[in-house]
Copies of this chain bind each other. A is one copy, B any other.
Amino acid sequence: MYRTVTCGDLRITHVSQSVTLAGWVQSSRNLGGMTFIDLRDRYGITQLVFNLEDNEELCLAARKLGREYVIQIKGTVRERSAKNANRPTGDVEIQVTELVVLNASSVPPFTIEDESDGGEELRMKYRYLDIRRNPVKEKLLFRHQIALETRKYLSELQFTEIETPYLIKSTPEGARDFVVPSRMNQGQFYALPQSPQTFKQILMVAGMDRYFQIVRCFRDEDLRADRQPEFTQIDCEMAFVEEEDILITFEGLMKHLFKTILQIELPDFPRMSYDEALRDYGSDKPDLRFDMKIQHLNDSLKDKGFAVFDNAELVAGIVCKGIGESYSNKDINDLTDWVKRPQIGAKGLVYIKYNQDGSLKSSVGKFFTDEQLKELAQKVGAEAGDLLLILAGTHDATLKQCGELRLEMARRMNLMKPGEFKAFWVLDFPLLEWDEESQRFFAMHHPFTSPLPQDMHKLNSSDKDTLKSIRAAAYDMVINGAEVGGGSIRIHDRALQAQNFKLLGFTEEEAEAQFGFLLGAFEYGAPPHGGIAFGLDRVCAIMQGSTSIRDYIAFPKNNQGRDMMIDAPSALELKQLNELGVSVMQK
């Protein structure tokens, strides 16, 4: 070993010990007769001292060390005269007696500091330097802890981690597959799994009872910000369970992670239905760190002579507590522009300010009496000093816009406090989603999701609205406005699965070609089962209050799906293509 201790080990109790250290030169200060070097490794930083008078040759050698040189030193631990309370090793320094340069370094293209001067592209190209920075390193260490504690928790509960194959079969349903040409079966292709969904169900049929896997998933989608073509799931499945069993088990997992890693005791997770979530928050993954429920105002504001409201399917709004008088006309105009952005899509914004002196100010003052607006205030719980913001339009769009406005106001009012967590379940998602363009139903979760028992009878209906109203035994875990996991009770009956495929527009031949093995498995004693999957990177980001998942991934790809460091993908040699029996089309 090149060291007896790491750069994070030494304390005042080690004074006068002889030690060997190795690491990177973080910084160097030359103060006349003394040269100080901060030596860094994964575990911390330790200060080295070279004294010109004591050992001139050594001190001069030390002065030649550049940033990020890799060195090994021997020396004696001594107490620092000027201690550094911000650093665990800040009480001591090493009086160096021997120095070996293990490797030199060119000047790095950006500084290896918590706040780097490197842009995104540079950081990705030199990811090995980026990872040396504390914020990135700490995120990778955090991710390891999350994965390890997940495995411990689930293994204690007799879940077995079972690896499922990565070279599987392409199923055109759902997102686009990455595919892999087979050399031994020319003209045929494997696909990389979008998730191990069918395999984990097969494992339940196989009697494995409780399965999990921390597993890579692949989706060849056009990449939006913060989406990766490969990402990691905590994938779980249980047999002989009902929805309640799964909710309890995985609420337990999240509580375990928060407790062991953040020392936070999460309370029991509240539950709300998908319908409630949309009605009250305009979103199926509301942020509950603040209240600000959507107020449905049709009864109070429609048919009072204001055409915009009268023609709307839905008039709805939110009460912003205590900001009525501090919100200027400019603020309101700014907010109006914000809701009119194409991403939000509202036609306009109506406001009512309830002033402290009992007066009112509103953009629709001339259409409503003060009396009507005060009655409204009472109904929605607005008090003196509050601001009521109102949107109107078609039902679904207005709810969604109110949901977005709610989040935006919370950001502007700074209502989302770091370190605060609101975790809960959203239940009873719709089974089917109607696609206007292709005039067919898609599975909202996936084609293996079971309807709720009480809605099972609706499956035989030919009425579109009846079919739309079928609820699924599907659930999402939501924390601070992000879906961290989701799952469902699965169909385990071959006939019901066939019926569901039919509803989703599969011909019998298509269903058989793509999922015949699963339908076949259901013939040999499939137990009732269900499961859930969590986005590992998402869980990490939420727990640390981070907005991006990218730094939890050691080697992420950019928005063009490229790895900037290794420069992949890349062209193949013709010989390779010939062996595979595929050719590249000319554009």
Chain A residues with CB under 8 Å of chain B are: 1-3, 6, 22, 24, 40-43, 68-70, 72, 102-106, 108, 126-132, 137, 140-141, 143-144, 147-148, 151, 155, 160-170, 172, 176-192, 198-199, 202-203, 205-210, 216, 218, 220, 222-223, 229-230, 232, 240-242, 245, 492-493, 516-517, 521-528, 553-555, 557, 560-563, 565-573, 575-576, 578-585, 587
Contact = CB atoms under 8 A, between A and B. Distances in A.
Given A41-B240, A42-B210, 17 more contacts: A2-B528, A3-B240, A70-B526, A103-B492, A103-B522, A105-B524, A127-B202, A128-B202, A166-B216, A178-B190, A179-B181, A188-B570, A189-B570, A190-B569, A203-B554, A581-B584, A581-B587
Contact of A169 (B192, B568, B583): B568
A103 B104 CA distance: 68
A124 to B, nearest CB: 11
A168 B554 CA distance: 13
Which 10 residue pairs are nearest across A and B when measured between Cβ atoms?
A: A105-B525, A131-B206, A169-B568, A188-B569, A2-B240, A68-B525, A182-B569, A42-B209, A128-B206, A132-B207
Contacts of A143: 162
Contact of A177 (B128, B137, B576): B576
A-side interface mostly: loop
A199 B565 CA distance: 10
A34 to B, nearest CB: 24
Contact of A240 (B1, B40, B525, B578): B1
A570 B120 CA distance: 40
A70 B166 contact: no
26 contacts: A24-B525, A24-B527, A41-B209, A43-B209, A68-B525, A70-B526, A72-B240, A127-B202, A140-B162, A148-B155, A163-B232, A166-B218, A167-B557, A167-B561, A169-B570, A179-B576, A180-B192, A180-B569, A185-B560, A186-B587, A187-B571, A189-B572, A198-B566, A517-B565, A517-B567, A583-B583
A69 B525 contact: yes
A160 B141 contact: yes
Contact of A569 (B72, B147, B189): B189
A155 B168 CA distance: 31
Contact of A165 (B72, B184, B526, B557): B557
Contact of A180 (B129, B180, B575, B587): B180
Contacts of A147: 161
Contacts of A516: 567
B179 A180 contact: yes
A235 to B, nearest CB: 13
A316 B127 CA distance: 55
A131 B208 contact: yes
Contacts of A575: 172
B128 A205 contact: yes
Contacts of A181: 179, 181, 582
B170 A570 contact: yes
Contacts of A241: 1-2
A433 to B, nearest CB: 22
A571 B516 CA distance: 16
B557 A230 contact: no
A3 B210 CA distance: 14
A129 B202 CA distance: 10
Contact of A584 (B42, B103, B554, B582): B582
Nearest to A553: B163
A141 B207 CA distance: 12
B184 A561 contact: yes
A188 to B, nearest CB: 4
Given A167-B178, A525-B105, A582-B584, A185 B561 contact: yes
A493 B104 CA distance: 9
A536 to B, nearest CB: 9
Nearest to A241: B1
A168 B566 contact: yes
A203 to B, nearest CB: 7
A548 to B, nearest CB: 17
Nearest to A536: B163
Contacts of A184: 222-223, 560-561
Contacts of A137: 207-208
Contacts of A140: 160, 162, 208
Given A127-B206, A161-B148, A581 B585 contact: yes
B208 A126 contact: no
Contacts of A103: 492-493, 522, 525-528
Given A105-B524, A162-B140, A568 B177 contact: no
B245 A1 contact: yes
Nearest to A568: B169
A366 B164 CA distance: 63
Nearest to A107: B524
